[in-house]
A and B are shown apart, each in its own frame.
Chain A
Amino acid sequence: MLMILTEIFFLGLSILLYYLLGKLAIPFKPFLSLGFIILIAIFNGRLFRRFNLPAITGYMVAGLIISPFTFGLSPVNYIKEFKLIDYFAITFIGLQAGSEMAIRILKKDFKKILTVTILIICISSISTFLFLYALNSVLKGIIIAGTGFIYVLIFLAVFEIAKSPVTTIAIINESGVRNKFTYTILGITIIKDVILVLLFTIVTAMVELSLAGTSGFSMIHFFPILMELIGSMVIGFIVALIFTLYMKYIKINASVFILIFAFIISFIGNTIHINPLITGIIAGFFIENFSEKNRDFTRILHTSAPYVYILFFPLASAVLDISVVPSVIILVIILLILRKIFLIVSFRIARKTVHIDTFTMKYGWMGLINQSGITLALAILIENIFIKYNMAETGNYIKTIAIASIIITDFYGPPMFKYAAQKSKKFFDNTFSK
Chain B
Amino acid sequence: MFLAFLYFYYFILFSCQIRDIHYNNNMKYFFLIVFISLIAVYLLTYILMNQKKRKRYYFFISEVFFLTLGYLAARFGNIASNHNFMNYKQILSIMLISFIVFIISLQYRYKFIKRLSKRLFPISFTSIVVSVLIMFLVFGLIKHNFSINIFMLFVFLSGSSFTFVSFTKSRYIRHIVYAGLFSPIIYTGIYLIYFISSILFGNIPFNNTIFIFIISIPIFTLLMGYLTIILKKTEWILFVFASLLIFIPFSTHYGILPMFIAFLFAIIITNMTEKYPDMYYNMFINTEKPAYFLLLLIAGTYLRFDLIILILFIALLLFKVLFSTIFFGILFGNYRKAPSASGISGFEFIGFFSLLLAGLIDQALFTGAVVFMLLSQIVQSGVMYADDIN
Contacts and interface: CB of A to CB of B under 8 A. Distances in A.
A31 interface: yes
B234 A306 contact: yes
A82 interface: yes
Interface stretch (B3-11, B110-118, B326-334): B3-11
A27 interface: yes
B198 to A, nearest CB: 19
A45 B239 CA distance: 13
Given A35-B242, A271-B22, A304-B5, A81 B16 contact: yes
A249 B46 contact: yes
A256 interface: yes
B7 A260 contact: yes
A252 B8 contact: no
B387 interface: no
Interface stretch (B131-139, B249-257, B362-370): B249-257
Contacts of A246: 42
A255 B1 contact: yes
User: Which of A42, A249, A257 counts the most B-chain CB atoms under 10 A from its CB?
Assistant: A42
Contacts, number: 139
Given A31-B95, A32-B245, A307-B8, A263 B15 contact: yes
Given A256-B290, A260-B38, A29 B249 contact: yes
B190 interface: no
Interface string B90-125: 010001000000000000000000000000000000
Nearest to B34: A264
Nearest to A37: B242
A303 B3 CA distance: 12
Contacts of A118: none
Contacts of B252: 26-28
Interface stretch (A62-70, A83-91, A178-186, A355-363): A83-91
Contacts of A300: 1, 4
Nearest to B49: A252
Interface in A261-311: 261, 263-264, 267, 271, 300, 303-304, 306-307, 310
Interface of A is mostly: helix
Interface in B47-106: 49, 87-88, 91, 95
- Interface of chain B, helix or strand or loop or mixed? helix
A253 interface: yes
Q: Report the contact-size class of chain B (Cβ under 8 Å from the partner).
A: 35 or more
Interface string A63-105: 0000000000000000001111100100000000000000000
A24 interface: yes
B304 to A, nearest CB: 23
Given A3-B230, A84-B16, A304-B8, A256 B246 contact: no
A259 B8 contact: yes
Interface in B254-291: 290
Interface string B353-374: 0000000000000000000000
A347 interface: no
Interface residues of A, number: 48
Contact of B246 (A35, A88, A253, A307): A35
Contacts of B49: 252
A260 B238 contact: no
A27 B92 CA distance: 13
Contacts of B19: 81
B31 interface: yes
A42 B31 contact: no
A250 interface: yes
B3 A255 contact: yes
A36 interface: yes
Contacts of A304: 1, 4-5, 8
B42 A263 contact: no
A83 B16 contact: yes
A60 interface: no
A29 B87 CA distance: 12
Contacts of A31: 13, 91, 95, 245, 248-249
B245 A35 contact: yes
Contacts of A38: 238-239, 241-242, 245
A42 B38 contact: no
Contacts of B34: 264
A6 B231 CA distance: 11
Contact of A257 (B17, B38, B95, B209): B38
A34 interface: yes
A192 interface: no
A90 to B, nearest CB: 13
B15 A46 contact: no
B199 interface: no
B244 interface: yes
Given A36-B242, A255-B3, 5 more contacts: A28-B249, A31-B248, A35-B245, A39-B239, A258-B4
| A-B complex: 3 closest residue pairs judged by Cβ atoms | A35-B245, A255-B4, A38-B242
10 contacts: A10-B227, A27-B91, A27-B252, A34-B245, A35-B244, A85-B12, A259-B4, A263-B11, A307-B9, A307-B238
